[in-house]
Amino acid sequence: MIYRSPYPDVGIPNVSVTEHVFGNIAGRENAIALIDAATGAKVTFGELKSRVLRAAGGLTARGFAKGDVVAIYSPNTLGYPVAFHGATHAGGIVTTVNPTYTTEELASQLRDSRARFLVTIGPLLEKAQEAARRAGGVQEIFTFDAAPGTTPFARLLESPELVRGPHIDHARDLVALPYSSGTTGISKGVMLTHRNLVANMVQIAGCDPLCRPLTERDTVMAVLPFFHIYGLVVVLNYALWRGASLVVVPRFELEPFLKAMQDHRVTYAYLVPPVLVALAKHPVVGQYDLSHLAGIMSGAAPLGRELANAVEGRLGCVITQGYGLTETSPVTHMGLSQRKGQCPHDSIGPSLPNTEILIADVETGQPLGPNQRGEVWVRGPQVMMGYLGQPAATAATIDRDGWLHTGDIGTVDEGGLCRIVDRVKELIKYKGYQVAPAELEAVLLTNPHIKDAAVIRSPDEEAGEVPKAYVVSDGSLSPNDVLAFVAERVSPHKKIRRVEFIDAIPKSPSGKILRRVLIEREAQRVEGHDR
């Protein structure tokens, strides 16, 4: 059974990403596009477009050609969209790099992507230079903050505007090359075309009949990292295309984040569940005026119903969640968000326009019916071309019929609303029963004494695997308290069997729990016990 979007299909313009984002700014050149949360510096849409065209001209003057790759290794800055669109308008490809990467991780991505130019900041320069040396092929390093020993990125802006870039085949030419572990755990370059990104932006806009539309009257919190596909497409590109102003924040720190929300009267925020945990539970939140905030979209990790209710009740805004992958540019589903109660908080909503969904039996691949759990498969114009230089991995992810196998377990109900249960590879097999860590984490976070939590599989001689909870608490709980709390709220086979208190849950910058870190920790514990 194939589930189709309730929205009518949308037309996808045959334009480049840069043409799409800046193609409709006539008449609002003086409107504010970017605001630096730390300094208050502002950039208008007219200024931003001019900087993009001059950056494209500067790169072209240095011999940058169609298909060349620029790597951006930086936290969010006002220069980030200029570097991204300057490179793409010049016909290039941008590979975005996590600024927390080690030298070797950066070198690996530079080498695999064949990056020709690298853009970074002073504090990351030493790692960037060493990584470029190891990778080879990097012609020049630019820095947004004009760090000594590098070419200031601003020097590119001294060039004349490149009004017309090279011809772009929108369906075939790559524009972005983010890296993702997919379902294998090995980082791979995700090949996204101009059509992929443009399609996803118009698909999101196509949900406006049932979702709150972004407009030029909105001010959007841009705290999600631009290197991540969620921040790159949904915040940096989609919000700018809709004419919203972005409050640019380099990293999440609770009080500066809240102050920026208050001072700039932010109306909409794209966030991740760990930030919502802070908004729900931290007492300092009540010291700031967030009354202008109309809505929050959560993504990148599952959002529990109780957590969503808590934030919605405390802030008075509409909370909803969306879903997607790097491999789908990224959005495939988005919750209805015009008013409270419009969409169940445990649902990611229906699929976007032009997007088909199939729920497949994990073992057989056969299609399943409503409310049956299986792997979520996706088909639509936002699906990637494939993994760079990885034909086998591409074939394992996208089948012959064009279905992308997400590796996520979910259901679709009779009304077309989808719910994500967990990752296929993260499911815990307790005496043959499948237990979803995300479901137990949502239960744990309803305890007022638990600040954060993560659940992983723990080897067990009798059961095979049992759920183990890593818990960040206020110090008032014992392990037995945690076990009893969960046992009262779940089926017997889902009960937490082991608890370990921890200072902080390891997470990626996009907010995903780094389960592999906890699994490795658990493996070391088991090995030590066996000795």
More confident residue, 523 or 427: 523
Q: Report helix, strand and coil shares of the chain as percent, to nearest 5.
A: 35, 25, 40
Q: Are 158 and 148 in contact (CB under 8 A)?
A: no
**What is the DSSP track for 269-285?**
EEE-HHHHHHHHH-GGG
- What are the distances in angstroms from CA 390 to CA 32, 52, 204, 386? 42, 32, 29, 8
What integer pLDDT is reported at residue 185 of this predicted model?
55
Q: Name the 3-class secondary structure at 327.
A: helix
Q: What pLDDT is recorded for position 430?
A: 81
DSSP state letters, 351-374: BPTT-EEEEE-TTT--B--TT--E
- Is 529 a residue whose pLDDT tops 70? no
Q: What is the pLDDT of residue 465?
A: 87
Report, as an integer, the average pLDDT of 25-42: 96
SS3 state at 254: helix
Instruction: Give dist(CA 119, CA 80) in Å, integer.
Output: 9
Is 37:248 a contact under the CB 8 Å cutoff? Answer: yes
CATH fold label, 17-31+43-167: Rossmann fold (3.40.50)
Pairing status of strand 433-435 against strand 428-430: antiparallel
Burial class (CB in 10 A: 0-12, 13-18, 19+), 207: buried
Residue 184 pLDDT > 90: no
* Residue 424's pLDDT band (cuts 50, 70, 90): confident
Distance linking the first and last C-alpha atoms of the chain: 51
The 3-state DSSP class for residue 329 equals coil
Fold of 427-530: GMP Synthetase; Chain A, domain 3 (3.30.300)
CB 458 within 8 A of CB 468: yes
Q: What is the pLDDT of residue 363?
A: 84
Q: Are 52 and 119 in contact (CB under 8 A)?
A: no
pLDDT in tens, 4-31: 999 999 999 999 999 999 998 999 999 9
3-state secondary structure of 406: strand
Say whether pLDDT at 530 is over 60: no
Interatomic CA distance for residues 157 and 154, integer angstroms: 5
Q: Which of residues 461 and 83 earns the better pLDDT score?
A: 83
Rounded to 5 degrees, what angle do the CA atoms 358, 364, 368 make?
35
DSSP alpha helices (H): ranges in 8-99? 17-22, 45-61, 80-89
Structural domain boundaries of the chain?
17-31+43-167, 427-530
pLDDT digits (tens, 9 = 90+) for 159-178: 999 999 999 999 999 999 99
Per-residue confidence (pLDDT) for residue 394, from 0 to 100: 96
Contacts of 135 (CB under 8 A, 6+ apart): 106, 107, 108, 110, 111, 115
Confidence band of 421 (pLDDT split at 50, 70, 90): confident
Whether 94 shows a pLDDT value over 90: the answer reads yes
The answer to whether the 17-31+43-167 and 427-530 domains have the same CATH topology is no
Q: How far apart are CA 122 and CA 144, in angstroms?
A: 8
Longest dimension (CA), the chain: 72
Q: Which two tokens stand for residue 511?
A: 């907010």
The pTM of the full predicted model, rounded to 2 decimals, is 0.86
Cβ-count burial 213-225 (b if 16+ within 10 Å, e if not): ebeeebbbbbbbb
pLDDT over 80 at 186, yes or no: no
pLDDT tens, residue by residue, 365-407 = 999 999 999 999 999 999 999 999 999 999 999 999 999 999 9
- pLDDT, position 183: 56
Q: What pLDDT is recorded for position 167?
A: 96
